Amino acid sequence: MARVLIRNLNKKFGEVHVVKDVNLEIRDKEFLVIVGPSGCGKTTTLRMVAGLESITSGQILIGDTVVNELPPMDRDIAMVFQNYALYPHMSVYDNIAFGLKMRRFSHDEISQRVQEVAEILGIGDYLKRKPRQLSGGQRQRVALGRAIVRHPRVFLFDEPLSNLDAKLRVQMRVELKKIHDRLGTTAIYVTHDQVEAMTLGDRVVVMRDGVVQQVGEPLELYNEPTTRFVASFIGSPSMNFATVKVTEVDGGLWAINEGIRIMVSAEMGVRLRRYVGEQVALGIRPEDLRLASSDDPGQPGFDAVVEVVEKLGSEILLDVKVGSAMMVAAVEPTVRARVRDRLRLAVNPERLHFFDSRSEAAI
């Protein structure tokens, strides 16, 4: 068990600066997820922690040791790869035992540990098989077994679930979480899937273009995104954005464009005051939009035209046109809306997000 400290980490491939001044602390026993679109530097960061990629500048500490120059084998880590990287010429047993053999564990110890891991993962029945005789989910388990059998100080996961089908992915996600709770090993998990990030991570790091955008607990990222990028990346369906002008009317602040006219809450108004007369980006989560009912006329709202109705069962997604902007509203499954219906949508003023149009930082 160990904490991992990343200080001012940089990576350049020739002229391309892929990881820029990353600072992270992964606490002991923590499950940290790094999420971001492809090419954001998350995998490169992970590979630098693993020792598979050299470090251009900065430091990585595992426990109290600076590992910059240590080869992967001396870092006491285990990694699970996206394509599982099972050794195709070895049986499942040998795949799992390989790391222990390399470290010269006794025969009995290896056998005992492999059995133990096989039991945890439910792969005891096919220890003698070759990887190609296994299904995707089984291979995934073997890859996981190979990592946990060594009792490393840190687990590194590089998009381990992205080759599985949707149903299995959800199942393995839960299992991964259980295993982590049971073993308590520090873990760094890289994914491009924000649902995985939100469900697995104790804390989540959002990266973009090599820069850490925000670090926080999943709900913190969801409720209080610090940049427009985080706001749009976290949450599915993603946040609606509209450009609005901040206008002062009778001492209160309003966010106005051709289709929207919303009064800003007093709390938000304090922060928004210096933007009066300027354009800002307004962000509304789809689930914060609902149909305005006649008994709350005081609620701010706006008119919308339904363009697409997506019936998901547990909710209905309405793709609506508000002025010139498209928005998605997640509404109750009981709502009867049809294409081309005109609706009045209401929004809770406490749940509005505003972002500076130039810096994209949250206001």
Select 1 or 73, whichever has its Cβ closest to other proteins. 73
Report the alpha-carbon distance of residue 147 to residue 188 in Å, rounded.
Answer: 13
Task: Write out the two tokens for 116.
Answer: 């133990």
Does residue 145 touch other proteins according to CB under 8 A? no
Q: Which stretch binds other proteins (CB under 8 A): 77-85, 164-172, 201-209, 342-350?
A: 77-85
Q: Which of 18, 24, 79, 110 binds other proteins (CB under 8 A)?
A: 79
Q: Which stretch binds other proteins (CB under 8 A): 1-9, 27-35, 73-81, 284-292?
A: 73-81
In whole angstroms, the minimum distance from the beta carbon of 52 to other proteins comes to 5
Output DSSP code: residue 230.
H
Q: Which of 3, 29, 52, 58 binds other proteins (CB under 8 A)?
A: 52
In whole angstroms, the minimum distance from the beta carbon of 40 to other proteins comes to 20
Report the alpha-carbon distance of residue 137 to residue 150 in Å, rounded.
Answer: 21
Report the alpha-carbon distance of residue 78 to residue 152 in Å, rounded.
Answer: 6
CA 356 to chain centroid: 23
Which helix (H) or strand (E) is 205 found in, with range?
A: strand 203-208
Report the alpha-carbon distance of residue 226 to residue 215 in Å, rounded.
Answer: 10
Query: Residue 232: helix, strand or coil by DSSP?
Result: helix
Does residue 13 touch other proteins according to CB under 8 A? no
Select 131 or 301, whichever has its Cβ closest to other proteins. 131
Output DSSP code: residue 292.
P
Select 132 or 167, whichever has its Cβ closest to other proteins. 132
Q: Which of 132, 167, 342, 358 binds other proteins (CB under 8 A)?
A: 132
In whole angstroms, the minimum distance from the beta carbon of 135 to other proteins comes to 13
CB 230 within 8 A of CB 353: no
Report the alpha-carbon distance of residue 167 to residue 236 in Å, rounded.
Answer: 17
Residue pointed to by tokens 């602390």? 25
Q: Tell me which residues in 80-109 interact with other proteins (CB under 8 A).
A: 81-89, 98-99, 102-103
Q: Tell me which residues in 239-258 interact with other proteins (CB under 8 A).
A: none
Select 75 or 173, whichever has its Cβ closest to other proteins. 75
**Strand pairing class (240-249; 203-208):** unpaired
Which helix (H) or strand (E) is 226 found in, with range?
A: none
Q: Tell me which residues in 148-207 interact with other proteins (CB under 8 A).
A: 150
In the complex, the residues that contact other proteins under the rule CB under 8 A are 50-52, 71-73, 75, 77-79, 81-89, 98-99, 102-103, 131-132, 146, 150
